[in-house]
Amino acid sequence: MDDLNYLNEAIIEAKKAARSGEVPIGAVVVDEKGEIIGRGHNLCESTNDPTAHAEIIALREAGVKKGTWRLDDCVLYVTMEPCPMCAGALINARIKKVVYGADEYRFGSAGTLLNLLQFPSFEHNVLIKGPIAQEECSGLMQEFFARLRQKEKRT
């Protein structure tokens, strides 16, 4: 599978989030054999947990599956550029590479606003590839928030 195929798996996760009223961001963790070992989508609203971002959930699942928190041979695919919290988690997990679908202009921490993933003073740096599906992934966000605004107008 190539990057777009794995990103499509993250898009499936993002659509699950949207269907349940969550911000539509999805992520998958892929190991060195090409197997998806972690999946996640945003769950902040349903769990009342500000850390329940797609990346965090996918990392947790991957850590359990691998039996270690060190995911140094793994790649994370995510629909939107990671925020500072998720970038920190990716660094701590020793993720090898992040491939993201769309730039995040408010909190992007893989180069759009700042680049925490490759901060020179950090012991571990994460390779970055993205955006690779800007239109589709940002479109999911635009549709979600347009529907939310319409719903708010009606109430």
Active centre residues (catalytic): 55
List, in sequence order, every residue forming a beta bridge with 13; answer none if it has no partner: none
Cα 63 to Cα 37: distance, rounded to the nearest angstrom: 8
Cα 91 to Cα 71: distance, rounded to the nearest angstrom: 10
Cα 100 to Cα 27: distance, rounded to the nearest angstrom: 9
- DSSP summary character for residue 115: B
